[in-house]
Every structure is written in structure tokens, then in C-alpha cells.
Amino acid sequence: MLRPVPVAMYALNGQPGPQGIPGEIGPQGPIGLTGPQGTEGKEGPQGNQGIQGVQGVAGTGLINKGNWTSGFSYVNGDYVFDRSTGNASVNSMWICQVAVSSITQPYLDGTHWVEFQAPTGPQGNQGVQGLQGDKGDTGPTGLTGSTGLTGAQGNGIVQTINNGNGTYTFKYTDNSQFTTSDLTGPQGSQGLQGIQGLTGTTGAAGLNGVSISWLGTLALRPTTPSLNQAYYNSATKLAEIWNGSGWGTLAKDGATGTTGSAGSTGSAGLNGISVQWLGTLSSRPVSPSLNQAYYNDVTKISEIWNGSSWNTIAQDGIMGATGATGATGATGANGTNGTNGTSLQWLGTRTTPPSSPTLNQAYYNSADKISYVYGGSSWTILAQDGATGATGAQGIQGPIGPQGPAGTGLVNKGNWSSAAAYVPGDYVFDRSLVIVKI
């Protein structure tokens, strides 16, 4: 078999002869079959480390422009902070890759912005617990969130009606209504009028008292009442007084009770004189009628017109010693008293009903949100809280809060170099798991 390499010939004995004339090159022989693969040789020793190449040109520096602002112009390399793509409540760092006068938030404008995503490193070992550091400064206030949805109106009482028969009807905002049982007891017969006693001597002026300021008849409660102002409500048929924090009932219209048995007729009493009360005024009426009376809130005197002049009924003053009592006139025989009517007794807010209730006691149950009245044997519903309505439509977005201070700027340190010292805010270029286009 011909070999592709020359074969040297050696003489068996003697010195080599002179070089012969080279013969002509013979024809190329056919290519022999490939021999079997030889065993792999041992790995040679590692070569010397090559010299370090020239450092490349530093990448484009990044310039901190703070929070993104609509209408602001940005150029390649600027970066801002704004909401991330995946979570509206988390801010991301956005790098401008094409100059733009920005009016669209970066997470909606992938042409001009790229969201910076640092690769996640491997989980490090648990470090030793460090010492408690000093409390850091309070961070800047975040942006104001949008206004929450407005709930629908609940079902409340819109009108209370006195039915004129001892019952009351409560109307609710959902057009439903509830009528109570008859709350008025029977009225007794009127007793006979006794003989008027003699007038006692006038005592010294009393201490200044707190009088009721009568506002007359109104269809609605006053919007800004003062202490002890009172009025008669022509709609609810209640006389109410303001105690400084709420309206209390002075009196209420009731159904006329059955007439009691007539008592024996007593001696005729002196004719009484009725008074027409005009309420509280700051000056005397200009054309008064007989027995009209009022309270003057300037002079602090209650006066009555006797037909020709004003006379004092009472006046605010220091309480003096009580005068001697005049002799009492003979009393006429009283008629039979009628059964007393029963008014509501309000017990306030409770979580459970009273254990031993009495007739017409009422309370608000904070557990089931219902007001009850006791009818003598069981509790009846007076009113109840309305169910929560469906969620209202989305409210308009609140105004954008002031821009917070810009974050710490980044400093370009070129390519990463082993053993180089870095501080917070420095950035370098090195291999990564995620490619960020700049």
C-alpha cells in the first residue's frame, strides 16, 4: 500500500553513499482507506493568560428626570419613574429610547420607552441579624389615589305623619311605610273650675331663669336652633324644644278621648281671661289686641296688652323670697279623672331588648338595625335601617397630587470591573439574564 509520506532507506552496513539523482515523481496513487481513530492524547498544559484588551467605549449615560410629567420633552438616555406595566400601584423605572414630547404614560408607549427590569440573582445565604439601625426619614407622600365609588342611598325615613287617631305612619325612601298602633289613652272629663283665690303680695325679683323662646307654628324644624327654642310643627302635630343637641317633645296632639261621667256642678267660678301668645319679639307689636302677650328678648320682659297699655307678666331677674300665700278660695267638686294617656318612653340604643319592658317603651337595636316599641305583650317594629344599595357609578378621578422630589441620580461606571469599589447609584454594564434595549 502506498503511503502519502516518503519512506527513508537505510543501508545495512557501511557509510551512506552520495545522494542520488531524484527520480521522477510517480503518478498519484489511490487514496487509502481511513485508519481507525487513535486514542485521544493527554490535555496539554494551560497556556499563559493573554494580555487584557483595550476597554470599550462607555455606554450611554442615564439622566434622572424624576417622576414622569405629561407634556415634558425627553431624550435618549433620560429615565423617569411611573406606574409599572403589571401593577398600577407599583412604580417602575422607564428609560427613554427615542426622543419624545411625552403625553402618553410610558407603560402605554412602548415606542419611546422601555421598562427597566434588573435580572434576579440567586438566593443568597441567610445573613447574620444586624444591629437595629436608626429610624429613617419619612419618605415623600405618594400620589393621591382616585376617589372611591359612591354607594347608593340607603332606605331611610322621609316623612312621619300623625294620622289624627293616635297612630303615626312612617314613610321610607323605597316608598314602603309602617303605621304604629294607637298610642293615645282615653281622655278624662274636665273637672269643675274652682273659685279664684286672692292675689298674694308680690315677692322680690327672682334670679335670672332660662325662658323658652317660642317660635310659633312651623311646617319644618328650624335649621340652626338655639337652646330652649320651641315651636309647634303643623305637619307632625308635635310641640318640640331644642335641648342643645337634639329636639325633645313638649306635647303632641292626641285623639279626643271618650267623655267621662259629668261631675256635680260646683259654684260658678270667675270668668277666666284667655291670653293670645305671640312668641318672642324684639319690639312691641304696633297694633295689639286685648290680651295679646309676648316675650321681649331685648328687655327680657313678658308683657300683656290690657286694651290701653302694656303690663308686665314676668321678667328675667334674681329669684327673691317667696311672698305670703293668699287665702285659697273654696274648691269646686272635681269630676272623675279620665285614664291617663301613655307617651313613648325612648330608651336609647341597645344590643338586646329590655328584660322587663313596660307599655310604649321604645329603643333602637344596634344589632339588627331596627327600632321597636313595646305594645304591652310584644315588641312591634317602629322603623329599621334601609338595606345598602347597589354600588354607585365610578366617581371622577381626583386631581393629581404634587410631584415628589426626584430620586437619586445614576452614575455611569462603564463595564463592570472585578475588585472595583462602587457606591449606591453607580451603574455598570455586564452580562445579564434579561436584555434591556436602550
What would the pLDDT profile of 212-246 be if each residue is shown by its tens digit? 889 999 999 999 999 999 999 999 999 999 999 99
pLDDT band at 430, cuts 50/70/90?
Answer: confident
pLDDT digits (tens, 9 = 90+) for 10-33: 434 556 677 777 777 778 777 777
DSSP assignment of 179-200 equals EPPP--PPPPPPPPPPPPPPPP
pLDDT higher at 428 or 326: 428
pLDDT at position 240 is 93
Within 8 A by CB and 6+ apart from 74, the residues are: 65, 80, 96, 99, 100, 102, 112
pLDDT higher at 108 or 409: 108
pLDDT of residue 354 exceeding 70: yes
pLDDT of residue 377 exceeding 80: yes
Distance CA 94, CA 109 (A): 11
Grid cell of 428 as nine digits: 455598570
Distance CA 280, CA 297 (A): 6
pLDDT of residue 191 exceeding 80: no
pLDDT at position 348 is 93
pLDDT at position 5 is 42
The torsion defined by the Cα of 94, 96, 100 and 105, in degrees rounded to 10, comes to -10
Gap between the terminal Cα atoms of the chain: 65
Distance CA 170, CA 381 (A): 11
Return the SS3 of 75: coil
Backbone angles phi, psi at 35, to 5 degrees: -75, 170
pLDDT at position 4 is 45
Grid cell of 266 as nine digits: 260646683
Distance CA 330, CA 8 (A): 173
Residue 243 · residue 212 · CB < 8 Å = no
Grid cell of 316 as nine digits: 328675667
pLDDT at position 120 is 59
pLDDT at position 210 is 62
Write down the mean pLDDT value for the chain.
80
- Pairing between strand 157-162 and 168-172? antiparallel
**148-157, 189-198, 212-221, 395-404: which is most confident:** 212-221
Closest CA to 364 of 373, 355, 376, 356: 373
pLDDT of residue 81 exceeding 90: yes
List, in sequence order, every beta strand (DSSP E) within 253-404.
276-281, 292-296, 301-305, 310-315, 345-350, 361-365, 370-374, 379-384
Within 8 A by CB and 6+ apart from 106, the residues are: 68, 80, 82, 94, 112, 113, 115
Within 8 A by CB and 6+ apart from 227, the residues are: 210, 242, 243, 244
Closest CA to 96 of 114, 108, 73, 119: 114
Residue with cell 439601625: 133
Q: Tell me the HSE value of 282 on the side-chain side, using a 13 A CA sphere.
A: 0
pLDDT band at 96, cuts 50/70/90?
Answer: very high
Residue 89 · residue 75 · CB < 8 Å = no
Work out the percent of the chain whose per-residue pLDDT is above 90.
35
pLDDT band at 340, cuts 50/70/90?
Answer: low
